[in-house]
Amino acid sequence: MRPWLRHHRQALALALRRIGAQRSAALLNAIVIGVALALPAGGYALLANLEAATQRIAYEPQLSIFLRQEAPRAEAVALGARLKADARVREARFVPREAALKQLRATETLADVVAALGQNPLPDAFVIRASNPAPEALEALARDLRRLPAVAHVQVDSDWARRFNALATVGRSAIGLLAALLAVGLIAVTFNTIRLQILTQRAEIEVSRLIGATDAFIRRPLYYLGLLQGLAGGLIALAILRIGLAALNVGVADFSATYGSSFRLSYLELGDALAVAAFSAVLGWLGAYLSVSKYLREIHLI
């Protein structure tokens, strides 16, 4: 085996032995890191889920056109022809008031309400897809349609999706900020762990230096220790996330069932999960690097 590879293997083995020698302390540290990381990672997972759920709608904006309640069917047919002729309309679907009522009646919880109404309160409607999904084009189209005498109300269905996207941007910034703050915390935890480790091993470090160990030889196991602790913390964060999302999904399943949906929160994608673990490991290494640089100099043995 090449010497440098052997040195790294030795350093890794040494770091693992040291963790083994203080299992409970190492576990507690990893849990602290894991809990801290689970917060931004969980926020990210929830946001990603919500974004995925809204994306379809956001990218295929619809306009709903509701006619006046008293408008005769002939007016609706005329409007349908007009919409088909409009180049800005890619597709127009007519929803007659009877069909809308039937759909409403089919909704279990609303059936009684509908029965109590006596007459159909719903207007005829069109659901249209625009050729140009740009928000300005949609607004212009909606404005023109509102002027038509048969039309009572035009609703741009993508509005809430756009609002959500704007809100999600705020959410992403907040999660980023939280992640940055907790990253500093993670570095501090590792910094302190490595400081204690250096104090514990002071005699060994001192004598190693006196009899010919290079700085790299002394630093390497400490770096690995920080890296491994960060990695363990990252894995714990992923485990917390998995358990947490599974617990949330019990409630989500009940909730989405009331909307006839089978929506579930999905876990982090493999790439994202790997990124969390790698991020944590790198921060652990960084904490170790800072600690080693400071305290080995402080012990100051040439």
Partner 1 sequence: MISFSSVSKRYPGGQEALKEVSFGVAQGEFAFVAGHSGAGKSTLLKLIPAIERPTSGTVLVNGQNVGALGRSALPYLRRNLGLVFQDQKLLYDRTVYDNVMLPLAFSDHPPKEAARRARAALDKVGLLARERANPIQLSGGEQQRLAIARAVVNRPAILIADEPTANLDTESAADILAIFAAFNQVGVTLLVATHDEAMIGRHAKRVVRLAAGRLTAS
Q: How far is the CB of 25 from partner 1 (least distance, A)?
A: 16
Binding mask 173-212 for partner 1 (x = CB under 8 A): ------------------------------xx-xxxxxxx
Sole binder of partner 1 in the list 213, 253, 275, 282 (CB under 8 A): 213
Nearer Cβ to partner 1, position 116 or 211? 211
Output the six-digit token pair for 234: 């990252």
Nearer Cβ to partner 1, position 191 or 224? 224
Pairing type for strands 62-67 and 89-95 reads unpaired
Q: How far is the CB of 224 from partner 1 (least distance, A)?
A: 15
Q: Can residue 10 be called a binding residue for partner 1 (CB under 8 A)? A: yes
Q: Can residue 22 be called a binding residue for partner 1 (CB under 8 A)? A: no
Q: Can residue 269 be called a binding residue for partner 1 (CB under 8 A)? A: no
Q: Can residue 17 be called a binding residue for partner 1 (CB under 8 A)? A: no
Which residue matches tokens 């910094």?
Answer: 191
* From 6-14, 51-59, 90-98, 162-170, span contacting partner 1 (CB under 8 A): 6-14
Q: How far is the CB of 196 from partner 1 (least distance, A)?
A: 15
Q: Can residue 20 be called a binding residue for partner 1 (CB under 8 A)? A: no
Contacting positions for partner 1 (CB under 8 A): 1, 3, 6-7, 10, 203-204, 206-215, 217, 302
